[in-house]
Amino acid sequence: MKSGIAVFVVFFSMNTCVLFAQTTSNTTLNFNPKFGNADLQLNDAVYTTKINDSIWIDVFKCYVSNIALLQNGKVVWQKKNSFHLINIANQQSLQLMLQTPAALAFDAIQLNVGIDSTTNVAGAMGGDLDPTNGMYWTWQSGYINIKLEGRSNKCLTRNNAFTFHLGGYQFPYNALQKITIPIQQIKKINLVIDIQKFISSIDLTTQNQIMSPGKSAMFLSNQFSTIFSELKQ
């Protein structure tokens, strides 16, 4: 009798594994940092803005979190505990695998740019949230949602440098941004992050350094949230 029960358990488990394998699918999420039509590169690459300003990018990192897929405006799938650090210096960070139901239909992706207040007050964590990634201020200020550093001929600063460390989770300057992006390709989602669009929204002669939470950080975080779009095929 006992052996019969054991056989049943093994049979049930094997069938459960097969069923799981047949009902799930991998959707690839690719992030494509760009400067206009050009792929974003660090340090020596020179980019020209529409006002003929020469731009060099030295650092670009940002957090995306709470990734979800939508159909007709409703969430149909959500990645649990999704905190992902995009780092242009680490090409592996530009791709994520989303394990979704095989027959899932969706027409948009939703995500947060930054880290939510609940996670911030929990203190520094590990993995992509590890402070050694250089994206954490202090327990009081929390995580840096967006870090963009570079140089511009328009910057009247030492070495023509600009530094934007954007974040903050406390009222009234919560910099977290939720964005929804319509998509057409569901097996491979390719998202553009156009740094040129962000830079073009700033007058670098007068605004070239933000390194703490506040009104300016929240405003520029909102500007940053508009530079995501689906890559046109």
Q: Would residue 12 count as lying in a domain?
A: no
Give me the residues of the chain with pLDDT under 70, please. Answer: 1-22, 233
- Which of 117, 171, 112 shows the shortest CA–CA distance to 143? 117
- Alpha-carbon distance of 119 to 78, in angstroms, equals 17
Q: How many domains does the chain have?
A: 1
204: three-class secondary structure by DSSP = coil
177: three-class secondary structure by DSSP = strand
Could you tell me where the beta strands, DSSP code E, fall in 53-94? Answer: 54-71, 74-78, 83-87
Q: Would residue 50 count as lying in a domain?
A: yes
Which range marks the domain in which residue 153 is found? Answer: 28-230
Residue 130: CA count within 13 A, CB half-sphere? 5
Structure pTM? 0.87
Q: Would residue 141 count as lying in a domain?
A: yes
To the nearest 10°, report the CA torsion of 172, 33, 73, 78: -90
Q: Would residue 209 count as lying in a domain?
A: yes
State pLDDT tens for residues 8-46. 444 444 444 444 445 888 899 999 999 999 999 998 899
